[in-house]
Structure 1
Amino acid sequence: MARTIARDHDEKRAQILKSAARVFATQGFDRASMSELARDCGISKANIYHYYDSKDAILYDILETHLRGLRDRICGLDLAGLSPEAQLRVTLREYLLAYKGADNEHRVQVNGVDRLPPAEREILLDYQRDMVRHLAAILGALAPPALAGDTARLRAATMSVFGMLNWHYMWNSGAGTQARADHADLMADLTLKGLPGL
């Protein structure tokens, strides 16, 4: 007879992913054991194996859940009727708000994607590509014609904006909602005023 799924299955799974992200981010993936992950989650080792058969499966689920959620949140923004400048400001703000409380997942992402098998890595890279295309389209609408028509330079500009976004947690991880909104506006100003110079 098939085993029934507990009512709190999704909550337990989310708890495992959050705890595992913290352990992987602070101790490193290689040094973390399934026993340690179970202890940090407050469940038995046998119970953690009910959800995941390996550390690799947990790593993939952390990254897939994090990046898919981020992609859906950003690419699902309703930007209709907004000017390209307003679209940029809304998008940058949403990124920094989405990153709030996800520093461990972000650290795991920086070091973890390359550990995965090619098929899993490709899924995660597709999420990232969707977000790059989304931001590049906004920047392309803002850029002077010479930059908008230069695919390589527009991509470089897009990735530079992502650099500002993605490393925010390094110097300001504890920032609250208003501080994140203010920083998003600073990044938007830097981008908007810098694009004409390119």
Structure 2
Amino acid sequence: MARGRSAGYDDQRDMILDHAALLFANRGYSATSMNQVAEACGFSKALLYHYYRDKYSLLVSIAENHVSRLEDLVADVESLGLAPAARLRELIRRFVQEYAGAKHAHRVLTEDVKFLEDGDRERVLDTQRTVVSGFARAVAELRPELQEGALAKPLTMLLFGMINWMFIWMRPDGELDYDSMAPVVADLFLGGLPAVQLPQRVTALEG
């Protein structure tokens, strides 16, 4: 009879992913070895292989787990039935909170997805597209004409740019924390959204 997994098996796997994400984010995926991951976890290399078969499986798990959590956040916010502006604010708030605790995983996702094999990469990117679409729907409901001008998604990507870059320049010990910055991002985006004009080529075609 096969031996069952210990009660803490999943917790150990999550802990390993946290350490691996930190190493990948700081050293780069290619420059990180399984020996280094094992050392960071306080494991022998043999014990590490009990949880993950190789470094590539760590990368896949980090990327998939991160985008899946983001996808779940979008679905959860959409289930609340909020008006578009309130929904977008809540999405921004939750994503800033999530990124604050998963900035290493997010850096791995943005910088190391190129190391994924085609099938794994496409699966991760499909989930990312679902996440982006959730934001873009709220933008399009606020300004329907932007969807017609193919601007809802580009504006969404600009919004993600604000959120993503926050974790590059913000100091953890600074005067502002992530919770206080989330409404600032929402105010800046929603305040500027009404001023966005359709590109001239779009208005010319409509005319």
- How high is the TM-score relative to the length of structure 1? 0.90
After superposition, residues 23-42 of structure 1 pair within 5 angstroms as 23-42=23-42
**Distance between the aligned counterparts of 1:52 and 1:182, measured in 2?**
38
Aligned residue for 2:178? 180
Partner residue of 1:4?
Answer: 4
AA aligned opposite 2:33:
S
Conserved? CA contact 1:100–1:173, under 8 Å:
no
> Does structure 1 retain, via aligned residues, the 8 Å contact 2:84–2:141?
yes
- Counterpart of 2:158 in structure 1 is 160
Distance 1:193 1:78 in 2: 22
Partner-residue secondary structure (3-state), 1:167: helix
* C-alpha separation in 1, matches of 2:173 and 2:79: 25
- Aligned to 2:177, the other structure's residue is in SS state helix
How far residue 26 of structure 1 moved from its aligned partner, in angstroms, is 1.3
User: Cα distance, 1:161 vs. partner?
Assistant: 0.6
CA distance in 2, matches of 1:169, 1:89: 18
* Identical residues among aligned pairs (%): 38
Distance (whole Å) between structure 2 residues aligned to residue 148 and residue 118 of structure 1:
30
For the pair 1:109 / 2:113, whether they are aligned, the reply is no
Aligned to 1:148: 147
1:164, 1:175 → 2: CA distance? 20
**CA distance in structure 2 between the partners assigned to 1:181 and 1:74 by the alignment:** 18
Partner residue of 1:87?
87
SS in structure 2 of the partner of residue 100 of structure 1: helix
Counterpart residue number, 2:98: 98
Task: Report the alpha carbon displacement of residue 81 of structure 1 after superposing the two structures with TM.
Answer: 4.4
> What 5-or-longer segments of structure 1 have no aligned partner?
none
Aligned residues: 195
| CA pair 38-170 structure 1, distance change in 2 beyond 3 A | same
Tell me how far 1:182 sits from its aligned partner: 2.9
Q: Are the equivalent residues in 2 in contact too, given 1:66–1:105 (CA < 8 A)? A: yes
Distance 1:111 1:149 in 2: 32
| TM-score of the pair, normalised by structure 2 | 0.87
Indicate the residue corresponding to 1:169 in structure 2: 167
User: Where has structure 1 moved over 2 Å in runs of 4 or more?
Assistant: 1-4, 78-83, 173-176, 178-182
| SS in structure 2 of the partner of residue 147 of structure 1 | helix
* 1:65 to 2:62 alignment: no
